[in-house]
Amino acid sequence: MRAISSARFRLSRSTGFGIILFLLFTAPIAVHAASSPDLTIFFSSDTRGMIRRCGCTDGQLGGLSARASYIKSHRNNETLVLDAGDTFFDGLDDPKDRKAFYSLKASVLMKAMKISGYDAILPGEYDLEFGLGLLKNNARVAGDRLICANLYTASGPAFQGSMIKKIGRLTVGITGVIDDKFPYGTFPSIFKRFRVENSLEAARRQVRTLREKAGIVVLLAHLSVSDQKKFAAESGADVVIFGDDGGILKKPLRYGNTLVVKGFYEGKLIGRLDLWLGHGNKKIKSYKYKAVRLGEGIPPDPDVEELLAEYRQMLKKERFAFTDMTGLKGYFAGPDKCKKCHARSFHNWSSTKHARAFSALVKTGDQYDPECLPCHVTGYGYPTGYGDRAKGGRADLKNVTCENCHGAGGLHYNYERPGNYLDPYNVPPVHVKEKVCTGCHDDYRSPNFDFKKYEQMGGAHRGNNGP
Ligand code: HEC
Ligand code: HEC
Ligand code: HEC
Ligand code: HEC
């Protein structure tokens, strides 16, 4: 314990209030009084496909542009940038027919990480969702920065197990392991071609080998263990960066000579660890740690913005159609049909923000993004819902309309036609439940949502309802 505790550490502790202020406002990093650090590590993990903030509400964090911008403006020649896994996807259950879309998105994520100057990236289990091929292609995009010491295919190790980096006058060894306890068997279609070696054994072996050449050894560990400190200490590494754990540490965990930190979920923060070394640059003497919130105060990075502009162009060209939704009763009619019999509801709805929700996407050029459309149009993903006309969709069903809340009304509005009869099951529900709203007004996109308050704000019909 003694080995690492230091004046610098005490200094940052005594300014606890300063840290809180920093977390709130992302103030510029204070220049350390004594000397500049021997090594600075920027670290992230679990980006989980979060390319950018959606902008649905103010005060959102994250995005690859802010991350690149922060790293670029704070890095120097003694800097290492690392990621501890689960970069591309938010889980393992994305429909397989979306592979083309997710491949494009993954390549954007990788390019942005290259722009940000990442030295090494550990894949997580989720990154394997669409197979090793996609991951390898992206490894090439990023200039072979992927490492993993315990993932094997029939033909051998899937990635390089470790790397040695010259950082200024230091030699740093980097290795990484994924979780051998993950229930791979539950997803046989994804993992049947892989073998995962015991995480701790693989880590120890790599660390031992790296020690022969490197002064400081960093281990990336994408895994859940009950005792992170113990795992880290047993690995023998100097610094262990855990992924797959969204907890935000106020300060690193310490165990003997090992420092333990964690990445953050969805790229909302980035970690910074400054290290001062001793014993011929082979031991950590002291450190400073920061969890930096990537808020709106951080300017965008022009290179990542250019990449995002290209991404939007690609989405416009491809017009990805997510049409695998099922369970729709009837079909979508569109608000103009409802207007005929529900003139007052239509009139009231017309003056709400819902009636213009599509234009919010047009403003930023995001109107072709299949990850934005579901909440800003009607029936996206359903056979008769919003979509590219050439692919069988209806281009006129823009905005949040009657049928987002009341359900598809095609059969209902038809009932008066000759030969038709009023089917009571086809009358849309009058009562729109709160959970219909929170399907779109979720915690991330609408953190201030309150059903009663938002209804009064004119969420549905602004003032009086229908007939
Ligand atoms: C899960 C549903 C959902 C998704 C997906 C979604 N949005 Fe939104 N968006 C909302 C909601 C709800 C609001 C209104 C939030 C509020 O005012 O409380 C909103 C508001 C907005 C606004 C603000 C509009 C204004 O008038 O100020 C913008 C801009 C926006 N979204 C852009 C996007 C973009 C870009 C994407 C894709 C990256 C996206 N949204 C994806 C639900 C969503
Ligand atoms: C041809 C006329 C007509 C059209 C078009 C029409 N409706 Fe209706 N709608 C009615 C009638 C009549 C009722 C009342 C049925 C009842 O109470 O048995 C009704 C009931 C409703 C109700 C329940 C309200 C209540 O007080 O019971 C909702 C909600 C509704 N319609 C929504 C829609 C939506 C959404 C559309 C467009 C997709 C639409 N309607 C199109 C005639 C129409
Ligand atoms: C954002 C969700 C939302 C949208 C969009 C929406 N409604 Fe409603 N609608 C509601 C809610 C909520 C109620 C009130 C239900 C209650 O009282 O529990 C309602 C009530 C109604 C009623 C019953 C009226 C009454 O006075 O009892 C009708 C008819 C209706 N809506 C038709 C429409 C039509 C037509 C449109 C499109 C022009 C539309 N709604 C758009 C949420 C919505
Ligand atoms: C299909 C997704 C969706 C559903 C369902 C939905 N909303 Fe919205 N809502 C949005 C989007 C998107 C916006 C932002 C529109 C904009 O400003 O461009 C929004 C905006 C609003 C606003 C305006 C907020 C502001 O800042 O002025 C209110 C109020 C609102 N919604 C209430 C509701 C209520 C109440 C319900 C349920 C009865 C509901 N919404 C259901 C997507 C949805």
Ligand 4 center to 58 CA (angstroms)? 15
C-alpha 215, offset from chain centre:
33
Domain with CATH 1.10.1130.10 in the chain: 324-456
Pocket test for ligand 2, best of 328, 336, 337, 338 (most atoms within 8 A of CB): 338
Domain with CATH 3.60.21.10 in the chain: 7-305
Task: Give alpha helix (H) positions in 253-386.
Answer: 302-318, 335-339, 343-350, 357-364, 373-376
Span 7-305 CATH architecture: 4-Layer Sandwich (3.60)
Which protein residues touch ligand 3 with a CB less than 6 Å away? 335, 338, 342, 345-346, 349, 354, 400-402, 404-406, 430-432, 459-461, 465-466
Please report the atom of ligand 1 found closest to the CA of residue 366.
Answer: 35
Pocket test for ligand 3, best of 344, 406, 435, 441 (most atoms within 8 A of CB): 406
Tokens of 466: 């229908």
Query: Cα 456–359–98 angle (5° rounding)?
Result: 105
pLDDT in tens, 393-427: 888 999 999 999 988 887 776 655 555 444 545 55
- Please state which of the ranges 135-139, 162-166, 230-234 shows the lowest mean pLDDT: 135-139
Cβ burial of 212 (10 Å; 0-12, 13-18, 19+) is exposed
Give nearest CA residue, ligand 2 atom 23. Answer: 430
Rounded-to-integer distance, Cα 31 and Cα 281, Å: 22
Residue 392 backbone dihedrals phi, psi, to 5 degrees: 90, 5
Please report the atom of ligand 4 found closest to the CA of residue 455.
Answer: 35
Ligand nearest to the CA of 434: 4
Q: How confident is the model at residue 246 (pLDDT cuts 50, 70, 90)?
A: confident
pLDDT in tens, 419-454: 544 454 555 666 788 999 999 999 999 999 999 899
Ligand 1 center to 361 CA (angstroms)? 8
**C-alpha distance from residue 186 to each of 129, 189, 190, 192 (Å):** 13, 9, 9, 10
pLDDT in tens, 266-324: 999 999 999 999 988 889 999 999 999 999 999 999 999 999 999 999 999 998 877 66
Ligand 1 center to 56 CA (angstroms)? 3
Rounded-to-integer distance, Cα 423 and Cα 418, Å: 14
Contacts for 80 with CB less than 8 Å, ≥ 6 apart: 39, 40, 41, 42, 119, 165, 167, 172, 174, 218
Per-chain mean pLDDT for the chain: 86
Rounded-to-integer distance, Cα 395 and Cα 122, Å: 41
The whole-number pLDDT of residue 418 equals: 54
Give nearest CA residue, ligand 2 atom 33. Answer: 338
Rounded-to-integer distance, Cα 159 and Cα 150, Å: 9
Strands 79-83, 120-121: pairing is parallel
Three-state secondary structure call for residue 270: strand
How many Cβ atoms are within 10 Å of 271's Cβ, its own excluded?
23
DSSP labels for 34-84? S---SEEEEEE---TT--S---SSTT----HHHHHHHHHHH--TTEEEEE-
Pocket test for ligand 3, best of 461, 462, 464 (most atoms within 8 A of CB): 461
Pick from 275, 231, 267, 409: nearest CA to 329 = 409
Give nearest CA residue, ligand 1 atom 39. Answer: 372
Pocket test for ligand 2, best of 345, 397, 427, 430 (most atoms within 8 A of CB): 427
pLDDT in tens, 22-55: 344 333 223 344 689 999 999 999 999 999 999 9
Give nearest CA residue, ligand 1 atom 1. Answer: 440
The whole-number pLDDT of residue 209 equals: 98
Ligand 4 pocket, residue 60 CB under 6 Å: no
Pocket test for ligand 1, best of 312, 354, 356, 376 (most atoms within 8 A of CB): 376
Pick from 220, 216, 266, 268: nearest CA to 243 = 220
Cβ burial of 226 (10 Å; 0-12, 13-18, 19+) is exposed
Tokens of 263: 């990445």
Ligand 4 pocket, residue 377 CB under 6 Å: no
Rounded-to-integer distance, Cα 385 and Cα 366, Å: 18
Ligand 4 pocket, residue 400 CB under 6 Å: yes
Q: Which CATH number fits domain 324-456: 1.10.1130.10, 3.30.70.260, 3.40.50.970, 3.40.50.720?
A: 1.10.1130.10
Ligand 1 center to 36 CA (angstroms)? 42
Give nearest CA residue, ligand 4 atom 2. Answer: 375
Which amino acid, 62? G
pLDDT in tens, 60-70: 999 999 999 99
- The pTM for the full model equals 0.89
Ligand nearest to the CA of 352: 4
- Percentages (nearest 5) of helix, strand, coil residues in the chain: 35, 20, 45
Give nearest CA residue, ligand 2 atom 26. Answer: 430
Give nearest CA residue, ligand 4 atom 3. Answer: 440
Long-range contacts from 444-452, C-beta under 8 angstroms, 24+ separation: 444/54, 444/56, 444/60, 445/54, 445/56, 445/57, 445/375, 446/56, 446/57, 447/57, 448/57
Cβ burial of 58 (10 Å; 0-12, 13-18, 19+) is exposed
